[in-house]
Amino acid sequence: MKIAVIGATGMVGTIMLKMLEERNFPVSQLLAVASEKSVGKEIIFKGKPHTIIGLSTAVLEKPDIAIFSAGGNTSLEWAPKFAEVGTTVIDNSSAWRMDPSKKLVVPEINANSLTSEDKIIANPNCSTIQLVMALAPLHKKYKMKRVVVSTYQSVSGTGVKAVNQLENEIKGINSEMAYPYPIHKNALPHCDDFEANGYTKEEMKLAREPQKILNDSSFSITATAVRIPTAGGHSEAVNVAFENNFDLIDIRKILHETPGITVQDNPDTLTYPMPIYANGKDEVFVGRIRRDESQENTLNMWIVSDNLRKGAATNAIQIAEHLVAQNIV
Mark whether 303 and 186 lie in a shared domain: yes
Supply the DSSP string of 275-302, one letter for each residue.
HHHHTT--SEEEEEEEE-TTSTTEEEEE
pLDDT of residue 34: 96
The residue type at 197: N
Separation between Cα atoms, residue 94 and residue 193, nearest integer Å: 13
Mean pLDDT to the nearest integer, 79-97: 98
pLDDT of residue 174: 94
Mark whether 233 and 163 lie in a shared domain: yes
> Which CATH number is 239's domain given?
3.30.360.10
Separation between Cα atoms, residue 27 and residue 8, nearest integer Å: 15
- What are the catalytic residues? 126, 234
Over the stretch 279-293, which tens digit does the pLDDT of each residue have? Answer: 999 999 999 999 999
Mark whether 24 and 110 lie in a shared domain: yes
pLDDT of residue 225: 98
Owning domain of residue 47: 2-124+312-325
Mean pLDDT to the nearest integer, 191-210: 98
Mark whether 35 and 173 lie in a shared domain: no
pLDDT of residue 247: 96
Mean pLDDT over the full length of the chain:
97
Mark whether 321 and 302 lie in a shared domain: no
How many residues would you count in the chain? 329
Over the stretch 217-244, which tens digit does the pLDDT of each residue have? Answer: 999 999 999 999 998 999 999 999 999 9
CA atoms within 13 A on the CB side of 105: 30
Mark whether 223 and 144 lie in a shared domain: yes
Give the pairing of strands 234-242 and 298-305. Answer: antiparallel
Mark whether 29 and 43 lie in a shared domain: yes
Strands (E), the chain: 2-6, 29-33, 42-45, 48-51, 65-68, 88-91, 103-104, 120-122, 144-153, 220-227, 234-242, 261-263, 284-291, 298-305
Mark whether 202 and 64 lie in a shared domain: no
Instruction: For 14, list phi and psi in degrees, rounded to 5.
Output: -60, -40
Give the pairing of strands 298-305 and 284-291. Answer: antiparallel
Separation between Cα atoms, residue 11 and residue 19, nearest integer Å: 13
> Which CATH number is 24's domain given?
3.40.50.720
Instruction: For 310, list phi and psi in degrees, rounded to 5.
Output: -60, -30
Separation between Cα atoms, residue 210 and residue 124, nearest integer Å: 9
Reported as type and span, the H/E element at residue 178 is none
